[in-house]
Amino acid sequence: MSLAKRIIPCLDVKDGKTVKGVQFVNFRDAGDPVELGKQYSLMGADELVYLDITASHEGRRTFTELVQRIAAEVSIPFTVGGGIHELSDVERLLAAGADKVSVNSSAVRRPELITEIAKRFGSQECVCAIDARLEENGEWRCYLNGGRVPTERMLFEWAHEAQERGAGEILFTSMNHDGSKQGFANEALNRLHEELSIPIIASGGAGCMQDFVDVFKIGHADAGLAASVFHFNEIPMKELKQYLYEQGIDVRRV
């Protein structure tokens, strides 16, 4: 029996506020991250992802005090990412109340970090986030530091290695689709689904309820993650869950 598909609001945090951009630039304020998380928890979201989006670029540690405040108010699992470089960072965030951590730039630079997290805390605590852009040659290139730095790593080989090293989930964001509201990168998502055995979280491109149907039926993602369509109530959570249910998709009902 397959697990229910998950709907995950993503809260990008910059200077203590939730922000939303388009293709990783042009950010606008979307509200208080603790209050938003509390609302999503009540609305029926399955999980939350909080990303301190400038932590790696600015060389900061992720926001421990904010994580403590979130944990006190939110009753669903939440993942925290940004500026996680070593096991002490993971330990601090989990102790503050996070359920999982997401590693991206630091894991590409030092892949052993995934292995260390999985061995110390378990694969279920480790999400490997991958930001990739589709190039003209048809290859998906991985980027670091919030989409600022191109790397030599390619999406599929890096996702395979992350799984082998013990990552419990892959959070794949298509930089081409991010903020476009034109649908998810379903072809790439389906390939990840076919080639990997761990859950795939789809990110980048949600614009309407049908996009979530497509990401589950065509992309075969295990979870759909979005930001602005939820933050600005363009897609109400309860209506989305009902729509997915009516389309024959197994979701946790509100």
What residues are labeled active site?
12, 131
13 Cβ neighbours under 8 A, 6+ residues apart: 19, 33, 50, 51, 52, 53, 63, 66, 82
The closest alpha carbon to 74, from 122, 5, 168, 9, belongs to: 9
| Site of tokens 């209506």 | 239
Amino acid at position 68, single letter: Q
Report DSSP state, residue 144. Answer: E
CA distance 39 to 42: 5
Token pair of 132 as six digits: 């990739």
Residue 81 contacts residue 62 (beta carbons within 8 Å): yes
